[in-house]
């Protein structure tokens, strides 16, 4: 009896980590080009920016014309390297927080949202250094062949500013806000709505039911958390004047963007973000559930 329980807990944790890592890897490989486009919109500072994109199609055309197809995959190595541990942490900690919160007087629906918040905050701490490298690479408009590698860029950031909040961990508060808010809504909405809508005996209809709920969940979460995302991109991206730090902290950056560019500037990149994290969020949850189910039945 004493040896069986730890083995069972270890196997459960392994299932969650492998399924979560698989979900993240599939999502990033499918959706990264939209993340590049989203970041480009978020770091440009209004129509006065001579390099500003007019609209979504103009951004796609300009990147393809100047940087070719590989331009859409700039900065993909940091998220690929981070995605397996990042999503593994996200789903594993969500399951653990959910388990702990069943011991509290919180209602099941609220507990799911709080577990999502906790998972998002934990995930943010793991992923932030990778985000700093990714955004700095995505902001580079040189051709793909002239761009530094992810490792060279990381070394450059560390050499210039170190590992702290001005270097490899800058924008941490914005990343905490972005991931915390997103996952609180993402998990809370998905599992509450999924439990409320009856399952279908038809496998195709059941897949579509889960995909639709995941799509709505990712879309709503993206709409709510994007001001944090804009602040993160401004802090981690190139500053307007080289050598001068304009965007310093999360809420200071939001306030500055609002004052200088208006309320809508806090929603820059929303369309490509929804295009990515709407279906991407659905893909992640489905891959996680199906891989987790397969592992439970076969391992």
Look at 45 and 219; give whichever has higher pLDDT: 219
Look at 20 and 190; give whichever has higher pLDDT: 190
Q: Give dist(CA 233, CA 236) in Å, integer.
A: 5
Instruction: Answer yes or no: is pLDDT of 1 > 60.
Output: no
Dihedral-angle region of residue 139 (phi above 0 means left; psi in -120 to 50 means alpha; beta otherwise): alpha
Average pLDDT, the chain: 88
pTM, rounded to two decimals: 0.81
Picking from 220, 253, 229, 109, the residue whose alpha carbon sits closest to that of residue 176 is 229
Taking only the tens place, the pLDDT of each residue in 254-266 is: 999 999 999 999 9
- Tokens of residue 158, six digits: 């560390």
Which ranges of the chain would DSSP assign to H, the alpha helix?
Answer: 4-43, 56-67, 77-101, 108-138, 150-161, 172-196, 203-236, 250-261, 270-298
What's the confidence (pLDDT) of residue 4? 41
Report which listed range, 87-96, 204-213, 237-246, is most confident.
204-213
Compute the half-sphere exposure of residue 232: CA atoms within 13 Å on the CB side of its CA: 29
What's the confidence (pLDDT) of residue 47? 62
Q: What is the mean predicted confidence (pLDDT) over 159-163? A: 92
Picking from 265, 261, 231, 226, the residue whose alpha carbon sits closest to that of residue 248 is 231
Report which listed range, 41-45, 240-244, 277-281, is most confident.
277-281
Contacts of 196 (CB under 8 A, 6+ apart): none
Contact criterion met (CB below 8 Å) for 275 and 38: no
Contact criterion met (CB below 8 Å) for 158 and 209: no
- Tokens of residue 139, six digits: 């902001």
DSSP 72: G
Taking only the tens place, the pLDDT of each residue in 201-223 is: 999 999 999 999 999 999 999 99
What's the confidence (pLDDT) of residue 2? 42
Contact criterion met (CB below 8 Å) for 226 and 270: yes
Percent of the chain residues past pLDDT 90, beyond the cut: 49
What's the confidence (pLDDT) of residue 44? 81
Q: Which segment of 20-24, 229-233, 278-282, 288-292 scores lowest on mean pLDDT?
A: 20-24
What's the confidence (pLDDT) of residue 125? 92
At the topology level, CATH places domain 4-298 in: Mitochondrial carrier fold (1.50.40)
- At 190, the pLDDT band (50, 70, 90 cuts) reads very high
Contacts of 93 (CB under 8 A, 6+ apart): 118, 119, 122, 123
């Amino acid at each position: 009896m004493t040896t069986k329980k730890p083995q069972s807990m270890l196997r459960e944790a392994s299932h969650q980590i492998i399924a979560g890592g698989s979900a993240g890897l599939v999502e990033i490989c499918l959706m990264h080009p939209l993340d590049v486009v989203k970041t480009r919109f978020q770091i440009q500072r209004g129509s006065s920016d001579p390099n500003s994109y007019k609209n979504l199609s103009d951004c796609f055309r300009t990147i393809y014309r100047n940087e070719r197809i590989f331009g859409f995959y700039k900065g993909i190595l940091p998220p690929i390297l981070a995605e397996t541990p990042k999503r593994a942490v996200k789903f594993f900690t969500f399951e653990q927080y959910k388990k702990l919160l069943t011991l509290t007087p919180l209602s099941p629906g609220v507990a799911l949202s709080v577990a999502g918040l906790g998972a998002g905050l934990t995930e943010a701490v793991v992923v932030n250094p990778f985000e700093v490298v990714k955004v700095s690479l995505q902001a580079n408009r040189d051709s793909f062949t002239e761009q530094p590698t992810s490792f060279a860029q990381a070394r450059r950031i560390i050499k210039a500013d170190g590992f702290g909040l001005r270097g490899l961990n800058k924008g941490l508060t914005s990343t905490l806000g972005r991931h915390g808010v997103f996952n609180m809504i993402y998990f809370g909405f998905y599992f509450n709505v999924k439990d409320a809508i009856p399952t279908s005996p038809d496998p195709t209809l059941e897949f579509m039911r889960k995909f639709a709920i995941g799509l709505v969940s990712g879309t709503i979460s993206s709409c709510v958390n994007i001001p944090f995302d804009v602040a993160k991109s401004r802090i981690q991206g190139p500053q307007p004047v080289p050598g001068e730090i304009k965007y310093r902290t999360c809420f200071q950056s939001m306030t500055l963007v609002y004052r200088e560019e208006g309320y809508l500037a806090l929603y820059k990149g929303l369309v490509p973000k929804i295009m990515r994290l709407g279906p991407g969020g659905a893909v992640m949850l489905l891959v996680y559930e199906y891989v987790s189910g397969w592992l439970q039945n076969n391992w």
